[in-house]
Amino acid sequence: MYGAAGALAVVALVWTEWHGVRQPAAALAFGVLIAVGEVIRCVDAPSARQPARQPARPRTGGAHDPRGEPAPVAAAGALGYALLGRLGGEPTTFGVLQVVTVVMAATLAGLVVPLALGRPADPGHAARRVLTVAFAATCFQPLHQTGRLASWFGHGPYAVGYLLALLALTALCDAVLAAALARARTGWPYGPLLGDELRAQQGVGAAVCATGVVMALTVAVAGLWPLPVLAVPLLLIQYSYRRYAGIRATYRQTIASLARSTEIAGYTPAGHALKVAALSRAVGRELGLSGARLTVLEYAALMHDIGQLSLLDPVPAGATEQLPAAEQRRIALLGGAVVRQTGVPAEVAVVVERQADPYREQPLAARIVRAVNAYTELVSRPAAGGAAGAAALRALERLRLATARDFDPVVVEALAAVLSRQVYGRPR
């Protein structure tokens, strides 16, 4: 993807340099809009340089957690420029390659200020933006400039239908590229990643597409002056999106802090809940979970040991898998009762309550948490000894030997696949 975007950008830049920038006022106006949107996106992103006294946030959310288009102003501006057929009543004369040049130059220009402030820069985002805009421009500009768009669809509802179909295809193209990038970075199954991206497109993505088309149609009649006005709703959307993301992050941190109560009380080893949550989320991804089901799995994994607070004496190292089945079930039921008081979805409490049931009677999330918890307990025992890799192999072998009743063999093999790719590093 990087190679394709880079090659396209070079060809577009050479072509634009050779032929010159056509209708520079429009190129400058849309370029500034895109650059400003990129600056806002990067400045809003978490800083790459955290203060030394500030603890790093636990990465319980995984490496891929889509929330929608992170830069709606820049995305709408790029899409509006790609679909611009007229400018103040006059036909446009630039083509696909100039669109790619302007979008790429504006995206890079928007990264200058954030990089100077130490903010993160994502080359994958730029490559995805270039390829998506190139797709939209290729489907629109040649047909419009040759007059075929007007002759085929006219200027009525058929033309609107074509634009809607083009927007749907563009959104699909963007989701496909985003899922491919996430697949390359994480190694997770492509299908669930694509599903996540398509669901994200239904929110902010729909507003971006609609605003991009409105920009193109408005500029076609009224000229460039309405662009700042049309960008205001997207700025408000971006602000609301950031507030919502902050609330979700705070909610997750609250649950993680509640899960640490067993560690503070000495019932479980330090960091155990976070390890189980991170590895459970990776196994859930491997098995095709996404969206709300993955969130339920994560929350249940964080709070799976909270029932141990009912014990008078802590279990050594918090290893409840060695307790009698009746005691395991009692702890699980008490944990579920506590979870129900926290305000999390009821599905989370069900997963916690079903930890001690035979796996054939458990929901999938409970099977995952139980297997991952048992694996984490096995590799952390002092008796495990030896190299970390040997301890992991022995732990997986113990889980495989117990698949008749306690552990789902499909979940155990998914756990082995995740560990073999070392998504979260070699277990300790």
pLDDT at 68: 55
Below-70 pLDDT ranges, the chain: 42-70, 120-121, 312-313, 316-322, 381-389, 422-428
Q: What is the rounded CA–CA span in Å between residue 409 and residue 402?
A: 9
Average pLDDT value for the chain: 80
Exposed, middle or buried, 323 (CB in 10 Å: 0-12/13-18/19+)? middle
164: CB partners within 8 A, 6+ apart: none
Interval 151-163: pLDDT, tens: 887 777 787 788 8
Give the other-Cβ count within 10 Å of 315's Cβ.
18
Name the residue type at position 354.
Answer: R
375-380 contacts, C-beta under 8 A, 24 or more apart: 375/279, 375/399, 375/415, 375/427, 376/272, 376/275, 376/276, 376/279, 376/427, 377/317, 377/318, 377/319, 377/321, 379/427, 379/428, 380/269, 380/272, 380/317, 380/428
pLDDT at 49: 38
Q: Using CA of residue 55, residue 61, residue 65, residue 68, what is the dihedral sign?
A: negative
Interval 276-286: pLDDT, tens: 998 999 899 88
Domain edges within the chain: 2-48+56-251, 260-421
Residues in the chain: 428
pLDDT at 305: 83
| Tokens 């809940």 -> residue | 273
What letter does residue 270 receive in the DSSP assignment? Answer: T
Could you tell me which residues are beta bridge partners of residue 91?
86
Pick the CATH number of 260-421 from 1.10.3210.10, 3.10.20.80, 3.40.50.720, 3.40.50.300: 1.10.3210.10
